[in-house]
Amino acid sequence: MADTRGHVEGALQELEALALGDARLEARARQLLAALARDPAAGFPAAVASVAAREATYRLLNNRRVTLAALLAPHIAQTVARAAAQPTRPLIVVDKTAFVFGGEAPRTGLTRLGPARQGFDAFVALAVSSARQPLGVLGVAALPGHAGASDAATWAQFVETVDGPMAAQRPIYVMDREADSYALFAQLQAAHHDFVVRVAPGRRSPTATPLHTLLAQAPVSTTREIPLTRRSAVGVPRESRRHHPPRAARTATVTLRAATVAVARTKHTPRALPATLTLQVVHVCEAQPPADTPPVEWMLVTTLPIATAADVDAIVDIYRARWTIEEYFKALKTGCAYERRQLESREALLNALGLFAPLAWRLLALRTQPVDAAVPATVLDRDEIRVLRELVGPTRLHPTATAADLLTALAILGGHFPQNGSPGWRVLWIGLQKVLDRAEGYRLARADLAAAPHASTSDM
């Protein structure tokens, strides 16, 4: 059914090989991660048990021997191991996000973004399976400030930092329009990296013909339906809303065309790069969107083959996996409340990010557990499963429950109505928190009973 490792123990496994050069710092980091795993959105004073523990938390996060890279290293190693265990080539989704913090008082090392707003940008690389299951974080690189669009060299440098440990798995890089850069494509191709990147439809060929004009002349490879998730405007920065406007959930019927084309070097690109690159291009276009709804249109450049309709379909599905990192950012910013942290310096915030990054992955992974597997030991242990069964009723969670049964029960406990579709990670996490709180009491009561004279634990 499950081993004795529960949610908190599973989170601590991500710090198993932590090396800060000081055993006391390492123990303190594990203690803080365990406390945050029980309630990632809690403020630091609420998460830890005492004033002394709170002071120890702030000393840890402000310690110069503690760094984002050192805190992330053991989780990255675990991520690489999970990727290596995949039966197919893993995906590496790379994106840039802005971390924005409130408060009038300036915080050391942050860029002022406006009244009561300051922050920094960061690249994040997330490993994802071909089945769109998040495998973990492969890298986080904080940029000097909130710089808006980053140049190609910055993107390329970050890709090279995450590629080393993953080279043996031959990953496929997936990026959105912000990575639309001839120089980046040239570097990736020269390094024999496969990629799928969305570009502007107006990007031109050597004959100055826009790509969407060239692709309109290509034969139709296939027509398919693509489910589109709901996109809310609440809590989304203005720049992100411009690229990804709010929309209702719906299913779009799209036409796929594909062709091998030469992409021209732009005038601002270094002349040392090739004058043209030969790439495959896949055009995804919705011919008849609902009224007052912008059509789906993706122009994807790739190094992957397009010989068959199945090849083209696979490229579209690879790009669709990119949305996993948007869900990861939600887990980090909302589920872990990272942008509400009141730490006073960039260094302390980055150290906190090193702890929250694996926790956000666990939040997201909870929602995407394989539905045909046995109850996953890394989500709940035996005690927690027993508590969950008592809370939702044995008819909803029988002894031979599958992972799908477990997640359904957690979602119901979190307030989800099955008629509303698949549960999101928020309601699953609410249900999990209720289980963790009660399981702690259950274990304490069992320990007290076991310590009593002539006690029997047969009913526990």
Q: How confident is the model at residue 241 (pLDDT cuts 50, 70, 90)?
A: low
Q: How would you class 104 by CB atoms within 10 Å of its CB: exposed for 0-12, middle for 13-18, buried for 19 or more?
A: exposed
* Location of structure tokens 């991500």: 14
Q: How confident is the model at residue 207 (pLDDT cuts 50, 70, 90)?
A: low
Better pLDDT: 300 or 7: 300
Q: What span, in angstroms and rounded, lies between the C-alpha atoms of 272 and 292? A: 45
Q: What span, in angstroms and rounded, lies between the C-alpha atoms of 142 and 347? A: 10
Q: What is the pTM of this model?
A: 0.86
pLDDT at 283 over 90: yes
End-to-end, the C-alpha distance of the chain in Å comes to 18
User: What pLDDT is recorded for position 371?
Assistant: 47
Q: How confident is the model at residue 363 (pLDDT cuts 50, 70, 90)?
A: confident
Q: How confident is the model at residue 173 (pLDDT cuts 50, 70, 90)?
A: very high
Quote helix, strand, coil % in the chain, to nearest 5: 45, 20, 35
pLDDT at 228 over 90: no
Residue-wise pLDDT for 344-362, tens only, equals: 999 999 999 999 999 999 8
The tokens describing 441, both together, are 């009491």
User: What pLDDT is recorded for position 194?
Assistant: 97
The tokens describing 346, both together, are 């960039």
pLDDT at 323 over 60: yes
* Location of structure tokens 């049964």: 405
User: What pLDDT is recorded for position 345?
Assistant: 96
Count CB neighbours of 4 within 10 A. Answer: 9
Query: Domains in the chain, please, with CATH?
Result: 177-321 (3.90.350.10), 382-451 (no CATH)
The tokens describing 418, both together, are 């099955």
User: What pLDDT is recorded for position 375?
Assistant: 44
Residue-wise pLDDT for 108-147, tens only, equals: 999 988 888 999 999 999 999 999 999 999 999 999 865 5
Task: Tell me the range of 199-213, 257-271, 364-378 where mean pLDDT is highest.
Answer: 257-271
Query: Strands 194-199 and 111-114, how do they pair?
Result: unpaired
* Location of structure tokens 């799908």: 404
Nearest to 173 by CA among 228, 226, 128: 128
- For 294-312, b/e burial (b = at least 16 CB within 10 A) is eebebbbbbbbebeeeebb
Nearest to 229 by CA among 327, 299, 370, 315: 327
User: What pLDDT is recorded for position 425?
Assistant: 67
Nearest to 265 by CA among 253, 277, 248, 254: 277
User: Which amino acid is residue 253, in one-letter code?
Assistant: T
